[in-house]
Structure 1
Amino acid sequence: MYLSSYRLGDHVDRLFDLMRGKRRVGIIANALDFILDDARQRYEETIYSPLRELSDLGAEPEYLDLRRYFGNSTALEQTLREFDLVWVLGGNVFLLRRAMRQSGFDDLIARLLEEDSIVYGGFSAGAVVATKTLKGIDLMDDPNELAEGYEPSVLWEGLGLVEFSIVPHYRSDHSEAEMAERAATFFKQDALPFQVLRDGDAILVEHGVISLLSDPIKD
């Protein structure tokens, strides 16, 4: 797994190492489903396109919309097995978690990772959702953010792929940096295990070994 604070981060070579030369990438953008389609398209055309970024690096990306598989985890498993990496974008982690539950992605990704047949990667919400609990992240994301077709109940448990919480955008030049500071304070005060990530940082999980990929802070 490769869990980044912001976009691909500063250690994308380590992500591609996990793929062992393979190239097929499914981009999961369901954390952004609360944003209207035309606004998302304009953003991708004018500011940032994960498709273009990954393609420029030699990958073969395409979007994987979990909404297409709500209530049909069998079809989703067949689709997931066509990819070497799922790359999960940022946005609202609680909406993303709903999409993963309603499609059956949560159970499937745990099994596929156990088989070592896929790589999980993501940034911001895509990294946070991999943790054991989403409590405390409500200081950064609205748990009640919804979109059409989503169940309203809030899921507080994450995927449980790592045992500690993750706070992205910590002390970074990002609009959520102040909220990240509050989330980190929450975890400290409650003595809960967590890891902060500055933009550029990533957490690498390989063969059960967890590493923090972080460049030294420059004065």
Structure 2
Amino acid sequence: MRLYLSSYRFGAAMGRLVDLVGAGARIAVVSNALDLISEESRRAYARNVHDPLADLAERGFAPFDLDLRDYFGRPDALDQALEGVGMVWAVGGNAFLLRRAMAQSGLDAILARRLARDDLVYGGWSAGACVAGASLRGIDLMDEPEAVAEGYDPAPIYDGLGLVDFVIVPHFASDHPEAEAADVAAAWLANHGLAHRTLRDGEALVLRDGRLEVVGEV
């Protein structure tokens, strides 16, 4: 299994992501954590602030947008759409919305199967990293669990994908609007004896060949 789980965007060690995935790979960029935000606002943000597809293309990858809403209730179609894809990259936003999208499209089961075969890399930042953890308990102190966009099931999912056996808390001790909430979440998890790892912006967790390490440490 190969993972690249970042606190903020691609972190400070994107070269490690390139090594992990392989040059020229097709990358499916999942932005469903942002489905509460209007398409116009999302396009403006990509144009003026950060465009993950452009950043990945500059690194020699072949990225494309993968909207999981197109595959709700159609896991076989999603499985086919991911043929030949080397990485799924999930951007930040609302972790609970993203987790629902993964469940309703069947991406969670597809990832489990393909990561076990090691023919796909999973990566993401903020919400995209959080959903990889054992649980989203504590993350409800950072994101709104009940947030629902059109077409989504109303009930929040607190189980993570279980790709790592702890909760991931991004934006910890960082210059980020959610840093204070991250501190509260980490304290809550510690008080309840729940295994967790905090990440500062710039840092990422990399898993390869059974070895987990923090890269881009600041």
SS of aligned partner of 1:21? coil
User: Which of 192, 195, 215 is the equivalent residue of 1:193?
Assistant: 195
Superposition map of 1:110-121 within 5 A: 110-121=112-123
Match of 1:82 in 2: 84
Q: Deviations over 1:113-165 (max 9, x none)?
A: 00111110100000000011101100000001111100001101010110001
Which of 157, 161, 186 is the equivalent residue of 1:155? 157
| 1:103 and 2:105 correspond | yes
Could you tell me the TM-score, scaled by structure 1's length?
0.96
8 Å contact from structure 1 (residues 132, 162) kept in 2: yes
Give 4+ residue runs of structure 1 displaced > 3 Å after superposition: none
The code of the aligned residue for 2:83 comes to R
1:31 matched to 2:33: yes
Q: Distance in 1 between matches of 2:216 and 2:200?
A: 8
Q: Which moved more, 1:80-89 or 1:194-203?
A: 80-89
How far does residue 21 in structure 1 lie from its aligned partner after superposition? 2.8
User: Structure 2-normalised TM-score?
Assistant: 0.97
Q: Which amino acid aligns with 2:101?
A: A
Identity of aligned residues (%): 48
Q: Which amino acid aligns with 1:201?
A: E
**Count of residues paired in the alignment:** 216
> What displacement does 1:188 show?
1.1
The aligned amino acid for 2:29 is I
* Alignment check: 8 A CA contact 2:6 2:126 kept: yes
1:186 and 1:145 map into 2 onto residues whose CA distance is 21
- The one-letter amino acid paired with 1:205 is L
Partners in 2 of 1:214 and 1:8 — Cα distance?
10
Moved more, 98-107 or 44-53: 44-53
Contact 1:22 1:84 in 2 (8 A): no
SS in 1 for 2:80: helix
Indicate the residue corresponding to 1:169 in structure 2: 171
The CA distance in 1 between the partners of 2:43 and 2:16, in whole Å, is 29
Aligned residue type for 1:86: V
RMSD: 0.9
Deviation at 1:51, TM superposition (A): 1.1
What is the CA-CA distance between 1:82 and the residue it aligns to? Answer: 2.6
Question: 59, 62, 68: which one pairs with 1:60?
Answer: 62
Q: Is the 8 A contact 2:23 2:60 kept in 1?
A: no
2:89 counterpart of 1:91: no
Amino acid of the structure 2 residue aligned with 1:159: L
Alpha carbons of 1:21 and 1:57: their partners in 2 closer, same or farther (altered >3 Å)? closer
